[in-house]
Amino acid sequence: MTIVVGVYAAEIDPLEAGLRALAASLSIGLSCIAAGYAVARSAPAAIGAVSEKPEVFGKSIVFVGLAEGIAIYGLLIAILVMP
């Protein structure tokens, strides 16, 4: 009984590398578009709310910050997808 063990260098398949790059670019691009849309909708509402009631400034900033976090999540997914 013979056991043959071989160690091979990892070859990068061009199709796989291209699909990973496409997935990363879509992740970043779509999340940035979504974050821009969310900030464009929430920031004017937050400014209007603060101008009427200044004590809601903290709550309104949190909503705008959460909208900006969408782009960061897309970047993290892109980092995880790329080898």
pLDDT tens profile 5-63: 666 666 778 898 899 999 999 999 999 999 999 999 999 999 999 999 999 999 999 99
What residue has token string 């990068």? 12
Quickly state the pLDDT bin for 1 (edges 50, 70, 90): low
Contact 42, 67 (CB under 8 A): yes
What pTM does this model have?
0.76
pLDDT for position 32: 96
Mean pLDDT of all residues in 62-72? 92
pLDDT for position 8: 64
In 10 A of CB 45, how many CB atoms?
Answer: 12
Contact 73, 35 (CB under 8 A): no
In the chain the first and final C-alpha atoms are separated, in Å, by 37
Quickly state the pLDDT bin for 82 (edges 50, 70, 90): confident
pLDDT for position 36: 96
